[in-house]
Amino acid sequence: MDFAKYQYFQKELERLNQEIQNNPTSETFEQYKEAQEYIYNFDSIEKLKSQKESNTRLYGGEFDNLAREENQRIDKKIKDIEDKYSPKTQEDKKSIIMEIRPGTGGDEASLFAKEIYDMYINFATYKNWKIKNIEININQSGGLRLAILSIEGDGVYKYLKYESGVHRVQRIPKTESNGRIHTSTISVVVMPKVSNKEVNIKNEDLRIDVFRASGAGGQHINKTESAVRIKHLPTGITVSCQETRSQIQNRELALEILRSKVYEQQKEQREKETSNIRKEQIADSKRSEKIRTYNFPQDRITDHRIQKSFFGISSIMEKNFEEIIEELIKSENN
């Protein structure tokens, strides 16, 4: 358990206690209970560690065996408590919201974004996960302007959380007559899906606008105002959805995306404020921020975080993408 998070929850208790007095809700009570439980468990671990330290002083003496046996029991108690707050157990089992956008490179970037989108679809299908396109925008060349999708299943975040970042492609575009290698980038953002219980979004903090949905090129595909745009006033985060013909369904999808975005922002702020460690997130698609390079002339994919290369780009993108994920998981666990 983390001391910085302990301090954060201490402050949260004060705020939540005041909120409960002014405007009690079931969500606020749940958040208060979570903060209170974290503080209690943190204090319990500190007491167990102190007890273990006292037992250690008995090593080598008359009560050596008893002290060692007691410390083994203490170690198990500490592990059982800490396992409850392991990021793997909290987030790795979640479903996700994924966003894919082209970065630098014009049409070539949008074409590569579509290929990466297809790679994730192939992998999700192989895993028997449920895929839903919340928003997908294809340009006239067949490239991807934007894709927002939901992927549901047990352990989706565990596998795809590593994909957040800038992906760089190096190859000769089909439109390049001189045979020059171009470098383009796309950005991918992966966010765990969260419930109302995990992120409390109040109706009064939302500005909701409706408008007519339109398809690629701007043509209207719906004569009614079914598309929804929601702005979360406290954070300034804005999301929109026009995937279905139902305004109600689009509103629910937009709220689902909004919750994930607010959750990610809160997590980043908490990490920055309490432990001065900011999670690596992409700000834009600059080439220098790459996490992975797809070098087609050399038929090689390099993941720069683990400094490892994989050969056979087509095979990996069509059916063997898990090979890269397994190496990333192995690296994280080492």
DSSP codes, 33-99:
HHHHHHHHHHHHHHHHHHHHHHHHTTTTSTTHHHHHHHHHHHHHHHHHHHHHT-HHHHHTT--EEEE
pLDDT of residue 285: 43
Q: What pLDDT score was predicted for residue 86?
A: 67
Q: How far apart are CA 261 and CA 72, in angstroms?
A: 42
Range of the structural domain that residue 260 is part of: 203-275
Q: Which residue in this structure is represented by tokens 């994924």?
A: 98
210 and 247 both lie in a single domain: yes
Considering only CA atoms, which of 120, 108, 122 is closest in space to residue 163?
120
pLDDT confidence of residue 288: 46
What total of structural domains would you count in the chain?
3
Q: Which of 200, 259, 206 is nearest to 29 (CA)?
A: 200
* Start-end of H helices in the chain: 3-22, 26-56, 64-84, 87-91, 106-126, 156-160, 247-275, 313-315, 322-333
Please give the angle made by the CA atoms of 92, 97 and 101, to the nearest 5 degrees: 125
Query: Which H or E run includes 295?
Result: strand 290-295
pLDDT value for 195: 79
Half-sphere exposure of 321 (CA within 13 A, CB side): 22
From 275, 295, 316, give the residue that closes a domain: 275
What does the pLDDT read at residue 273?
Answer: 59
What pLDDT is stored for residue 161 in this prediction? 93
Question: Which pLDDT belongs to residue 24?
Answer: 80
198 lies in some domain: no
What CATH number does the domain containing 102 carry? 3.30.70.1660
Distance CA 199, CA 31 (A): 9
- Residues of the chain with pLDDT below 50 are 216-222, 274-288
193 within 8 A of 97, measured Cβ to Cβ: yes
pLDDT tens per residue across span 27-71:
788 788 888 998 999 999 999 999 999 999 999 888 899 999 999
In terms of domains, do 215 and 296 share one? Answer: no
Is residue 183 included in any domain, yes or no? yes
Q: Could you tell me the CA-to-CA distances from 257 to 64, 74, 99, 196 in Å, in that order?
A: 56, 42, 10, 12
- Residue pair 291/304 in contact (Cβ under 8 Å)? The answer is yes
- Same domain as 245, residue 229: yes
**Residue 235: CATH number of its domain:** 3.30.160.20
pLDDT of residue 275: 47
Are 127 and 242 in a shared domain? Answer: no
> What pLDDT, on the 0 to 100 scale, is given for residue 332?
81
Rounded Cα gap, residues 215 and 12, in angstroms = 44
Of 25, 53, 85, the one marking the end of a domain is 85
User: Residues with Cβ < 8 Å from 49, sequence gap 6 or more?
Assistant: 74, 78
Residue where a domain stops, chosen among 21, 52, 85: 85
What integer pLDDT is reported at residue 286 of this predicted model? 41
**Does residue 65 lie in a domain region?**
yes
Statement to judge: residues 32 and 110 lie in one domain: no
- 264 and 303 in a common domain: no
Same domain for 144 and 14? no
pTM over 0.85: no
Q: Give the strand pairing for 144-152 and 96-102.
A: antiparallel
The helix/strand/coil state of 238 is strand
Nearest-angstrom CA–CA distance, 245 and 225: 9
16, 78: one domain: yes
Tokens of 207: 């500005």
159 plus 294 within the same structural domain: yes
Q: How far apart are CA 111 and CA 319, in angstroms?
A: 19
- Are 252 and 318 contained in the same domain? no
* CA atoms within 13 A of residue 45's CA, in its CB half-sphere: 19
**Predicted local distance difference test score (pLDDT) of residue 324:** 95
Shared-domain flag, residues 187 and 318: yes
